[in-house]
Amino acid sequence: MNEPYMVLDSGTFEVWCRKCSWRSQPRLVASVDPLSFAAVVAMSAVDWQDHACGEGAGAAPVWSGEVGPAPSVTKARVA
């Protein structure tokens, strides 16, 4: 899988490589404004595209910087 882990923790967003120990710079998500969050994700996507992870010269790992919808607040019942 060529997509990174996307980590939102304690008000910071970063991406982690699944193949090596590379991590993007943690970026502060200053507000709940969707445009602010989209800007942080876009900057992290550029970092990810610059990270080649041994894929060969000029071949950037795949990830467009798009994230899916926010997780719902519903709780799953576990049997």
Tell me if 29 sits within 8 A of 12, measured CB to CB.
yes
pLDDT (tens digit per residue) in 5-38: 888 888 889 999 888 888 988 998 877 678 888 8
| pLDDT on residue 63 | 53
Tokens 């041994």 map to which residue? Answer: 54
Residue ranges per domain, the chain?
A: 5-50
For the question of whether the overall pTM of this predicted structure is more than 0.85, the answer is no
Angstrom CA distances, 22 to 14, 35, 58, 68, stand at: 11, 26, 18, 22
β-strand pairing of 12-16 with 5-9: antiparallel
| pLDDT on residue 66 | 60
Could you give the CA distance from residue 11 to residue 26 in angstroms, rounded to a whole number?
Answer: 9
pLDDT (tens digit per residue) in 41-59: 888 888 888 887 755 444 4
